[in-house]
Chains A and B, each alone.
Chain A
Amino acid sequence: MNSQSSPSLRQALTPSDNDSSPERKALLAEIDASCRRPVLFMFANGLLWLMAGTALALLTSYKMHSPNFLADWSWLTFGRVRPAHLNTMVYGFASQVAIGVAIWLMCRLGRVPFMQGGLVVGATIFWNIGVTVGIVGILAGDSTSIEWLEMPGYAAYILFIAYALIAIWAIIAFRFRRERHLYVSQWYLLAALFWFPWLYSAANMMLVIDPVRGTVQGAVNWWFAHNVLGLWFTPIGLAAIYYFIPKVIGRPIHSYFLSTLGFWSLALFYNWAGIHHLIGGPMPAWLITVSVVASMMMIIPVVTVAINHHMTMVGHFKKLKYSPTLRFIVFGAMSYTVVSLQGSSMAIRSLNEVTHFTHYTIAHAHLGVYAFFTMVMFGSMYYIVPRLALREWPSARLISIHFWTTALGILLYVVPLSVGGVLQGLAMNNPDIPFLKTVELTKPYLVTRTFAGILMTVGHTVFAVNFVWILARRRKAYQPPVPFIAAGLQQEAGAQLGKDI
């Protein structure tokens, strides 16, 4: 039989003959097994929130051009649904999946099984209770109206404690790693796992629990909100890219030196950039200037990372056709370059004068959180889930649909809305144009966004179906040791395999 199969899981799950280092060999399967419950549990909950957040997103988007829709119930008024959408996606979906991916990567790279999976499942339940309480709080009118931190204080306590209980085990996995050498992904993961609780607790302390005075709140707010993206999602996204591109195509990263340079320049510059959200605002000039400079300096890590990833991929782009993980990851990596350079440009005062306060910023935010981070997380899940569930994705077609609907959906979202945003900004800066005209001219772009949203909703639904399907498949047919079959030979090769083993 000349059919080929994916070697990875098969090799991971069955001991090979020429066993030179037995401890390490056993570990890949052992690691995956130890991560199975907590990580799959996080992914499942994350996907539930993804679906909820998608519904809220569609509702928000629809309301933006049809304001009378479901407007008469206070719980569903625009100003509550919008932050509910953001917080569902950020804390329910993105952060939760990110933690799952981080745990798995941390264990794989450290070659150490995950400890206390059961305890982490408990903490994850606690985390989800926190998100639920927070979202209900926002819808009920308890939103703090502090962007990216809308969840009321009581939910923030739950989230923080739950986070600490989960993250401590990822740090412990790092501390007791059996592979002492560190790969760059571990740098990013360790940093993110440490930066997030600092950001979250400091911002909550200074804004919600015991607010500082006046516009200092603005500074704290954007130090936090910008860094949630820059020091929490971005490092985990980059850690995944640095792992999966080499891993999937089977070629080491182009330049390891560049990757360390990228890490330190990101760590140095990203966290100073947040106050560019307040250009022209009532802040001291030095504070804004510092952030503009830091935003410009961000070009260094971004270009470094872009070159490194591109050079790694060169000659291997054909593999995009064959690997779902690679498709999503490379799409995300390219988006990272685009969104970061765009972000730096938006800190230039003359451009900021136009794009600030418009839909351009919204498009930019989705390019970052969705086209970069979410797509990378999707890619990571396509790689991780089969290895934890010990079976292959049931439907390749659904994966294809997922990729194309979300990739085209986010493009259809970002490109028109950016154009609309620039037009809106230009009109707004021309005092001869009545304000209502600036509202009127954005409507077609807002309607387009709703269509883009529908497309992305299809993608998410399809992904959720595939996810439920892979978990719900009957285990009986997959008695371990499970040889893993990738190519279209489940049927006939299954019988063949029976003879082989």
Chain B
Amino acid sequence: MLIYIIILAGSFVFLTGSALLALRWALRTGQLRDSRRTALLVFDEDEPVGRMTDYFPGRPLPPTDPASPSISK
């Protein structure tokens, strides 16, 4: 029985401790700040925010979508 208590208590201390350390690290290094920038990682100059990137082939596009440039003028 004692062995389980030691294991359970040990892992509890270890897990909680490492979670707290990770949290402290995250707060100190500003990981929780500026998450907006991270959310933008899926976009770039080629496919910027505001541009839809997937369509049914050969079907009309959304009429008001400003993101769809015409191919030719």
Mark A residues whose CB is within 8 Å of B. 1-8, 10-12, 16, 18, 20-21, 24-25, 28, 109, 179, 181-184, 243, 246-253, 255-257, 260, 318-319, 321-326, 382-383, 392-396, 399-400, 483, 485-490, 493, 496-497, 499-500
User: How far, in whole Å, are A227 and B35 apart by their CA atoms in the complex?
Assistant: 29
User: How far, in whole Å, are A255 and B55 apart by their CA atoms in the complex?
Assistant: 26
Q: Contact partner of B45 among A21, A253, A493, CB < 8 A?
A: A21
Contact A4 B70 (CB under 8 A): yes
Interface size class of B (residues with CB under 8 A): 35 or more
Contact B71 A8 (CB under 8 A): no
Contact A399 B54 (CB under 8 A): no
Interface string of B49-72 (1 = CB under 8 A from A): 111111111111110010111111
Given contacts A25-B46, A399-B56, contact A3 B70 (CB under 8 A): yes
Query: Shortest beta-carbon distance, A177 to chain B, in Å?
Result: 11
- Is B5's CB within 8 Å of the partner chain A? no
B57: nearest residue on chain A (CB-CB)?
A392
- Which residues of chain A have C-beta atoms less than 8 A from B44's C-beta? 24-25, 28
Contact A488 B41 (CB under 8 A): no
A-B contact pairs, 29 of them (CB 8 A): A3-B71, A4-B65, A4-B70, A5-B71, A10-B71, A20-B45, A25-B44, A28-B44, A182-B38, A184-B38, A246-B43, A248-B52, A248-B54, A250-B51, A250-B52, A252-B40, A252-B49, A256-B38, A256-B39, A260-B35, A322-B65, A383-B54, A396-B56, A396-B59, A400-B56, A486-B56, A487-B58, A488-B60, A493-B72
Q: Contact partner of B69 among A7, A109, A181, A326, CB < 8 A?
A: A7
Given contacts A250-B52, A256-B38, A322-B52, contact A5 B46 (CB under 8 A): no
Contact A181 B41 (CB under 8 A): yes
Q: Which of B37, B45, B52, B56 has the most CB of A within 10 A?
A: B56
- Which residues of chain A have C-beta atoms less than 8 A from B7's C-beta? none
Contact A252 B36 (CB under 8 A): yes
Query: Shortest beta-carbon distance, A390 to chain B, in Å?
Result: 14
User: How far, in whole Å, are A394 and B47 apart by their CA atoms in the complex?
Assistant: 23
User: How far, in whole Å, are A66 and B35 apart by their CA atoms in the complex?
Assistant: 56
Given contacts A4-B69, A500-B72, contact A394 B49 (CB under 8 A): no
- Which residues of chain A have C-beta atoms less than 8 A from B52's C-beta? 248-250, 319, 322-323
Interface string of B5-46 (1 = CB under 8 A from A): 000000000000000000000000000100111111111111
Given contacts A4-B71, A250-B49, 10 further A-B contacts (CB under 8 A): A3-B71, A4-B61, A6-B68, A7-B67, A8-B53, A243-B42, A249-B52, A252-B43, A321-B62, A396-B57
Contact B58 A396 (CB under 8 A): yes
- Which residues of chain B have C-beta atoms less than 8 A from A3's C-beta? 70-71
- Which residues of chain B have C-beta atoms less than 8 A from A493's C-beta? 71-72
- Which residues of chain A have C-beta atoms less than 8 A from B55's C-beta? 6, 322-323, 486-487
Contact B42 A247 (CB under 8 A): yes
8 smallest beta-carbon distances between A and B, as pairs: A256-B35, A8-B53, A4-B68, A252-B39, A486-B55, A256-B39, A323-B54, A488-B58
Contact A179 B70 (CB under 8 A): no
- Which residues of chain B have C-beta atoms less than 8 A from A382's C-beta? 54
Query: Shortest beta-carbon distance, A396 to chain B, in Å?
Result: 4
The B interface is mostly helix, strand or loop, or mixed, namely: loop
- Which residues of chain B have C-beta atoms less than 8 A from A25's C-beta? 44-46
Contact B53 A6 (CB under 8 A): yes
- Which residues of chain B have C-beta atoms less than 8 A from A248's C-beta? 52-54
Contact A28 B70 (CB under 8 A): no
User: How far, in whole Å, are A322 and B45 apart by their CA atoms in the complex?
Assistant: 23
Query: Shortest beta-carbon distance, B40 to chain A, in Å?
Result: 5
Query: Shortest beta-carbon distance, A445 to chain B, in Å?
Result: 35
Given contacts A20-B45, A247-B42, A247-B47, contact A393 B57 (CB under 8 A): yes
Given contacts A11-B46, A183-B38, A183-B42, contact A6 B70 (CB under 8 A): no
User: How far, in whole Å, are A251 and B51 apart by their CA atoms in the complex?
Assistant: 8
User: How far, in whole Å, are A179 and B38 apart by their CA atoms in the complex?
Assistant: 11
- Which residues of chain A have C-beta atoms less than 8 A from B35's C-beta? 255-257, 260
Contact A247 B59 (CB under 8 A): no
Contact A253 B62 (CB under 8 A): no
User: How far, in whole Å, are A486 and B57 apart by their CA atoms in the complex?
Assistant: 5
- Which residues of chain A have C-beta atoms less than 8 A from B72's C-beta? 1, 493, 496-497, 499-500
B32: nearest residue on chain A (CB-CB)?
A257
Query: Shortest beta-carbon distance, B7 to chain A, in Å?
Result: 14
B38: nearest residue on chain A (CB-CB)?
A256
- Which residues of chain B have C-beta atoms less than 8 A from A2's C-beta? 70
Query: Shortest beta-carbon distance, A328 to chain B, in Å?
Result: 10
Query: Shortest beta-carbon distance, A424 to chain B, in Å?
Result: 39
User: How far, in whole Å, are A140 and B52 apart by their CA atoms in the complex?
Assistant: 50
Given contacts A5-B68, A12-B46, A248-B52, contact A181 B58 (CB under 8 A): no
